[in-house]
């Protein structure tokens, strides 16, 4: 099992009230109706190009930070970044998370047919959360969970546009997937459909939606190595590409 974990701490005012400013949240005592929202996801490695993904929203010196770290399999390294969110952005997010239905103490656990385990927790400071379970969030999505999931994806796309699209592959249904095995000489960075994956070849069993895709291989510092290939990925099959780039 690979592990994807997300942790958020969002401080909201009373129901129906405008979200407090950062200075109000940091400087004032926490009222009884304050809510805390936290999320975590675990997933089987066969369905994701990542060994682990972490997202965090956390306070640091009066600012709300959005931090991400994505660890690849093998020796392919990781991607990481930090974005400082403005006061207005923080208040907007607080309101949008509240609109997702995070106004009751709830823990939702959902196991998908593909092996993913989703867990979402809305925890009140005053009481432990209740618990609910669904069979498969892909076919029976909990509205609150789906809302929060889309919010996190949109936050990645807004704050780290160079990663947009690649993260969405994690959520493609199993029956719609094929796989890529890529080998180049020399080893090169891989972009797929204009999106940098962060991977260097060789790559094995990379899950990808079925269909036609454009692969680009580049080696930084070597301008003559910049080549594109069009490949077709069939459902449930592995497309193999081996090529010399020089």
pLDDT in tens, 85-137: 777 777 777 677 667 764 444 444 444 334 444 444 433 333 344 444 444 44
Which class in CATH covers the domain with range 175-244?
mainly beta
Q: What is the pLDDT of residue 196?
A: 76
Sign of CA dihedral 199, 203, 208, 211: positive
Q: What is the pLDDT of residue 83?
A: 76
Q: Give 242's pLDDT tier (boundaries 50, 70, 90).
A: very high
pTM: 0.40
Q: What is the pLDDT of residue 203?
A: 85
Interacting residues of 142 by C-beta distance below 8 A, sequence separation 6+:
108, 110, 120, 132, 134
The pLDDT tens digits for 55-75 are 666 656 666 666 666 665 544
Q: Give 1's pLDDT tier (boundaries 50, 70, 90).
A: very low
Query: Between 181 and 128, where is the model more confident?
Result: 181
Helix (H), strand (E) at residue 23: helix 22-27
Going across the sheet that includes 211-218, the strands are 195-200, 189-192, 211-218, 226-233
Query: Between 85 and 227, where is the model more confident?
Result: 227
Calpha distance 8→214 (Å, rounded): 35
The pLDDT tens digits for 10-48 are 333 333 444 434 334 444 443 333 333 344 444 334 445
Q: Are 110 and 118 in contact (CB under 8 A)?
A: yes
Domain boundaries, the chain: 2-169, 175-244
pLDDT cut 90: percent of the chain above it: 12
pLDDT, average across residues 130-154? 56
Burial of 47 (0-12, 13-18, 19+ CB in 10 A): buried
| Average pLDDT score over the chain | 62
Q: What is the pLDDT of residue 217?
A: 96
For the ranges 34-43, 45-54, 197-206, the lowest mean pLDDT is seen at: 34-43
pLDDT, average across residues 217-227? 91
Q: What is the pLDDT of residue 207?
A: 73
For the ranges 34-43, 149-158, 161-170, the lowest mean pLDDT is seen at: 34-43
Q: Give 174's pLDDT tier (boundaries 50, 70, 90).
A: very low
Query: Between 237 and 59, where is the model more confident?
Result: 237
Q: What is the pLDDT of residue 8?
A: 34
């Amino acid at each position: 099992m690979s592990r994807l974990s997300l942790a958020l701490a969002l401080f909201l005012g009373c129901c129906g009230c405008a979200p407090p400013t950062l200075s109000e949240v940091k400087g004032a005592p926490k009222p009884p109706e304050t809510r805390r929202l936290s999320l975590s996801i675990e997933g089987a490695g066969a369905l994701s190009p990542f060994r682990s993904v972490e997202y965090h929203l956390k306070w640091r010196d009066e600012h709300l930070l959005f931090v991400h770290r994505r660890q690849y399999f093998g020796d392919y390294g990781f991607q990481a970044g930090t974005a400082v969110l403005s006061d207005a952005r923080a208040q907007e997010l607080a309101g949008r998370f509240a609109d997702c239905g995070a106004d009751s103490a709830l823990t939702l656990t959902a196991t998908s047919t593909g092996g993913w385990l989703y867990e979402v927790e809305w925890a009140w400071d005053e009481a432990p959360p209740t618990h609910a379970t669904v069979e498969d969030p892909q076919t029976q999505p909990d509205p609150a969970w789906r809302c929060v999931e889309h919010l996190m994806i949109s936050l990645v796309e807004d704050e780290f546009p160079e990663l947009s699209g690649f993260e969405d592959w994690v959520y493609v249904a199993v029956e719609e997937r094929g796989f890529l095995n890529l080998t180049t000489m020399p080893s090169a960075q891989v972009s797929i459909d204009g999106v940098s994956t962060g991977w260097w070849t060789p790559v094995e069993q990379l899950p990808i939606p079925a269909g036609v895709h454009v692969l680009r291989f580049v080696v930084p510092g070597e301008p003559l190595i910049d080549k594109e290939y069009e490949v077709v990925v069939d459902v449930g099959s592995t497309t193999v590409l081996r090529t010399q780039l020089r």
